[in-house]
Amino acid sequence: MPDERGRARGCANNSENMTTEHLFLRACLRQAVPRRPVWMMRQAGRYLPEYRATRARAGGFLNLCKTPELACEVTLQPIDLMGVDAAILFSDILVIPEAMGMELQFLEGEGPHFPNPIRNAADVAKLTDPDPEVELRYVMDALRLIRKELNGRVPLIGFTGSPWTLATYMVEGGGSKNFSTIKKMIYADPVSAHKLLERVTESVIAYLTAQVAAGAQAVQIFDTWGGILSTLDFRAFSLNYIKRIVQAVPKVGPDGQRVPVIVFVKGGGQWLEDIADTGCDVMGLDWTTDPTEARRRVGDRVAFQGNMDPCVLYAPPEVIAQRTRAMLTAFGDDPGHIANLGHGILPDIPVEHAKAFIQAAQAEIGG
């Protein structure tokens, strides 16, 4: 049965001859799979009581990120408890600005805070260029440890924020409702804005290169805030830098396997062709993008990841299963779909509901 399904999904259109047994990596490269892989963005997090217990032991979120044994422990929790088909490094996108010299605080229940945000060219000039094996050594140690502990069970995804998304936090000083401070910078002082994005891009390239060397088997670029820009500004201030990263990240890992690059632009549905043109292997879609329409627009040059509205997980488990099956059908039967949510799982989702999503995605029968 699995073999038949694999054949029904067709052959890889990928030029590389390298093959892998992992469902997730195969789907990223549009190779035939016996069933679709599934994982959830933010799968290691507060909806899991086990995560909350480990975070309490760590004495806070940043300590958890900076203690490789504990970061490893929470990375593995959704593998053991939920049975997902990929692990994602436990960390945060904001460790990059911190490594570039900015003080970072995570205040309980309030999200991230930079007490001294970037506001002008002088602030940009004060940023440093971190060596990932020095300032971000704890991330590399966590990756090495996770690979060892996973022992080949599922592949390990590394990640970064996009330069634009990182810059929004660095300039706003934290989360924002209307992003007026970073938008003021791009319109009133575009030279400093581009300088900042250049510096972050360089750090991100070094960071992802080191993640691949340390064992990340795929990497995801989160552009959570690309969708707040006009088309013109998205291309100039976000896409352009994402493209440079996609082009620069090593395509092959130390084990000789292809390392797929996933680009997730939340709210990026109107720029699908531009995003595919970055050369990424996989595009993350949010729930506002119709899968059939997305495939029609970009053809078969990329795989898709997504895209159920995370709020569907508030529905009863039978409804979650129904909606998950509907999503799989909408993505169709050709290879190159990784089931996921269209954004991170929310902290107040019952564990049983998250399991209903994973199980429905894995129990897929028929096309």
* Interface contacts to ligand CP3, rule CB under 6 A: 41-46, 55, 61, 88, 90, 92-94, 111-112, 159, 161, 175, 222, 224, 344
In contact, 30 and 43? CB cutoff 8 Å: no
Query: What region, left, alpha or beta, does residue 185 occupy, with left being phi > 0 and alpha being psi -120 to 50 degrees?
Result: alpha
Return the residue matching tokens 């052959």: 11
As measured in angstroms, the least distance from the Cβ of 174 to ligand CP3 is 8
As measured in angstroms, the least distance from the Cβ of 251 to ligand CP3 is 22
As measured in angstroms, the least distance from the Cβ of 278 to ligand CP3 is 18
Q: Cα–Cα distance between 312 and 354 in angstroms, integer?
A: 10
As measured in angstroms, the least distance from the Cβ of 99 to ligand CP3 is 15
**Nearer to ligand CP3 (CB atom), residue 41 or residue 262:** 41
As measured in angstroms, the least distance from the Cβ of 179 to ligand CP3 is 13
Instruction: Give the bridge partners for 218, in sequence order.
Output: 157
**Nearer to ligand CP3 (CB atom), residue 9 or residue 357:** 357
Return the residue matching tokens 């993505």: 331
In contact, 113 and 169? CB cutoff 8 Å: no
Question: In sequence order, which ranges of 151-189 are alpha helices (DSSP H)?
Answer: 163-172, 180-188
In contact, 171 and 117? CB cutoff 8 Å: yes
Active site residues: 42, 46, 55, 92, 169
**Nearer to ligand CP3 (CB atom), residue 31 or residue 238:** 238
**Nearer to ligand CP3 (CB atom), residue 61 or residue 314:** 61
**Nearer to ligand CP3 (CB atom), residue 32 or residue 140:** 140
Burial class (CB in 10 A: 0-12, 13-18, 19+), 276: middle
Instruction: Give the bridge partners for 221, in sequence order.
Output: 160, 263
In contact, 282 and 261? CB cutoff 8 Å: yes
Using alpha carbons, select from 250, 252, 254, 257 the residue that is nearest to residue 208.
250
Annotate 214-256 with three-state secondary structure.
HCCCEEEEEECCHHHCCHHHHHHHHHHHHHHHHHHCCCECCCC
**Nearer to ligand CP3 (CB atom), residue 9 or residue 169:** 169
Using alpha carbons, select from 166, 176, 192 the residue that is nearest to residue 104.
166
Return the structure tokens found at 82: 């939920």
As measured in angstroms, the least distance from the Cβ of 95 to ligand CP3 is 10
**Nearer to ligand CP3 (CB atom), residue 43 or residue 324:** 43
Per 3-state DSSP, what percentage of the chain is helix, strand, and coil (rounded to 5)? 50, 10, 40
As measured in angstroms, the least distance from the Cβ of 129 to ligand CP3 is 22
